[in-house]
Amino acid sequence: MRFIETMNKPKSLALVIMFVVLCAVGSAITYRNVTNATHNAITHNPSSNRYRSGLLNVPEIHAPSGMPLVIVVSGSNYEMGYQYGLQAAPVIYQNLVLFKSRLLQAYGEETVIKDMRVWAYYLEKYDPGLKDWLEGIRDGCRERGFDVNYLDLVALTCYPAEMWCRPSVPYPPETGVMGAASTSLSQSLTREMPLHCTAFAATGSATKDGKPIVAITKMVPTEVMQTLILIAFPDEGYSFIANPYAGAVVQNSGMNSAGFAWVLTAILGPPIWGVVTEVYFHYLTQYCGSPDEAIEYLISTPRAGVTGTFVMSASNGSICVFESNSQVFAIRKPGDAGEDAPFLVQTNHFIHPELRKHNVLVPGIVWQDSLYRYATAWKYVSEAARRGAIDFEFAKKMFMSDDYFEPKDWYNPEAGGQWRYNVPGSPNVLNNFPASVAQSIFFPLDRIAYFQVGTPSGIGLPAGATGEYVKFQLTNDIVTLVSKADEITFGLYSEARNLFQAELNRKAPYLTDSVIQSIKEMLDKAMLEYEHGMIKAAHAYLAMRNLGSKAPDVLALWSEVLTHYAHAQLYAQMVTTRLKNLRAS
């Protein structure tokens, strides 16, 4: 009451005006992307009380898209992380908010902080280079106005394993984390959260050109849709290309300049505290030049998370699968599980005869769908391998399938069975919705990578899924890589344009006025993206000569170039696919 009386006095009018002005100015002060209040709300600070009415300002939403960003980085691990953070801060932060909210709901803040310190201990012990990446990402995000800390990025990196297979055993004394570990398990383990990765490798007589191929349709939770393409030219280790969710360095698949390519399907087993799966993703991609080097590292480290089956190939044509959980492992090669050609198929259970007794079949997590998908992929791959017909188009078509095979013998699909046709939405199909939201197909001999963001058929998620793939050829320097990307992009556009012109010339009956108009518009989008990329590439090259190849602004410009080329490729292929489908019908 005394405050109101004072405010009513005329002599306080000037103070009132000043108070109002200060409030208005204060409400206008925001960070470039998000307010400091929101930053503090999600950092690791148990005493933080910033999530209060009047302090929250939600940043701009960057909806996941089937048109991915491409990020190019170069230098030391810290420098690459810093460049990554600068370029992708808004989407990294958005993923962090999504993941953090779910982790806190599942375990509570105190448990999450302790867990991340334990995961960080093993990360730093067995892959110190990744720590440098994360510290760089942190500082790059902070430079953009996002108050992200190191443990936030550990949480973002380890999110899938923490949600799916958090250990309930005590923290190891060597970590120095005090207090007993919580025995709580993620709520995701009590709801339907199946693992849906399906992978294969083939080589030699099984492929059209005799060259090895490794491919996967990757299962991730729906909140992990915000993915991008990362191309790295590190000072130490190998140049590499990967398709991680924003904020991660590598996720479930990768290929490097040594011609080593790998993909991973998750395996559940006895959970332990150790090297979490997502740490292996980075180490294998940047530091291992062959399956033998990768296997040596996997054997010598405490395998935690959903590690896992690594399907691997090298440029010399060799293929193998390292099947493991925290306690056991075996190496499988063609012929070990009945293969009669040089191919391998892997889903989310053990295939090696010596490990089958270790399969953990948990209803709603790993159940018969993994067995069905194995049998289905086996039928597709084995039949194509016998004909020497495996190539990119085969892999693309297989992953889009809404059919599945029901075998008489789960581990021997050749023993007979029955096909079930046209069952979209079934967990047994390879075109899995909503689980499969990214695909990778590698040709390690030629260092060619294909990446798709979205449900394999292009119908599902995220918004704008295309059903098409971005194609890049990995080289040892950015100028050569961009030159190759330009060539690939213009080639895909030319294919689409020439097919359209040919169909117009023959007056194809399906080419109605509305179809013609929509195809012209799509071709225009493809060419516009190509033109933007071509012009920005010229600017990037001249800027590189003046500022150096590792200047953050130069690398950001190269990223824009490749993002334009990626989008041009997708638009062009959408035209080609549509014309072929219309012609076939």
Q: Which domain holds residue 337?
A: 198-473
Q: What's the N-to-C CA distance of the chain in angstroms?
A: 80
List residues bridging with 201 in a β-sheet. 214, 344
Q: Could you tell me the CA-to-CA distances from 15 to 45, 185, 437 in Å, in that order?
A: 36, 55, 57
Instruction: Select from 189, 222, 252 the last residue of a domain.
Output: 189
C-alpha–C-alpha distance, residues 473 and 443, integer Å: 9
* Whether residue 104 is found in the same domain as residue 224: no
List residues bridging with 362 in a β-sheet. 366
* Whether residue 226 is found in the same domain as residue 276: yes
Pairing of strands 436-443, 213-219: antiparallel
* Whether residue 131 is found in the same domain as residue 48: no
Structure tokens at 373: 């998908």
C-alpha–C-alpha distance, residues 328 and 543, integer Å: 52
pLDDT attached to residue 13 = 40
Pairing of strands 343-346, 417-420: unpaired
HSE-up (13 A, CA, CB side) for residue 43: 17
* Whether residue 32 is found in the same domain as residue 156: no
Q: Which amino acid is at 54?
A: G
CA 94 to chain CA centroid, Å, is 15
Residue 4 in domain: no
3-state secondary structure 88-149: HHHHHHHHHHHHHHHHHHHHCHHHHHHHHHHHHHHHHHHCHHHHHHHHHHHHHHHHCCCCCC
Q: Give the sign of the dihedral formed by CA 452, CA 457, CA 460, CA 466.
A: positive
* Whether residue 434 is found in the same domain as residue 290: yes
3-state secondary structure 368-396: HHHHHHHHHHHHHHHHHHHHCCECHHHHH
* Whether residue 232 is found in the same domain as residue 137: no
C-alpha–C-alpha distance, residues 416 and 427, integer Å: 21
3-class DSSP state of 252: coil
3-class DSSP state of 202: strand
Structure tokens at 427: 């967990």
Nearest Cα neighbor of 525 from 446, 468, 581 is 468
pLDDT attached to residue 463 = 92
Neighbour tally for 297: CB within 10 Å: 17
* Whether residue 39 is found in the same domain as residue 137: no
* Whether residue 104 is found in the same domain as residue 55: no
Q: How many structural domains compose the chain?
A: 4
C-alpha–C-alpha distance, residues 220 and 305, integer Å: 14
* Whether residue 508 is found in the same domain as residue 454: no
Instruction: Select from 166, 189, 212 the last residue of a domain.
Output: 189
User: Whole-prediction pTM value?
Assistant: 0.90
Neighbour tally for 411: CB within 10 Å: 17
* Whether residue 544 is found in the same domain as residue 487: yes
The strand order across the sheet containing 240-242 reads 69-75, 228-234, 240-242, 253-256, 261-265, 309-313, 319-324, 329-332
Instruction: Select from 473, 488, 521 the last residue of a domain.
Output: 473
* Whether residue 25 is found in the same domain as residue 79: no
3-class DSSP state of 45: coil
Give, for all 585 residues of the chain, the pLDDT tens digit. 232 233 333 344 444 334 333 444 343 333 333 323 223 333 333 333 333 333 467 888 898 999 999 999 999 999 999 999 999 999 999 999 999 999 999 999 999 999 999 999 999 999 999 999 999 999 999 999 999 999 999 999 999 989 888 998 899 999 999 876 665 554 444 344 556 899 999 999 999 999 999 999 997 778 888 999 999 999 999 999 999 999 999 999 999 999 999 999 999 889 999 999 999 999 999 999 999 999 999 999 999 999 999 999 998 999 999 999 999 999 999 999 999 999 999 999 999 999 999 997 666 555 689 999 999 999 999 999 999 999 999 999 999 999 999 999 999 999 999 999 999 999 999 999 988 889 999 999 999 999 999 999 999 999 999 999 999 999 999 999 999 999 999 999 999 999 999 999 999 999 999 999 999 999 999 999 999 999 999 999 999 999 999 999 999 999 999 999 999 999 999 999 999 999 998
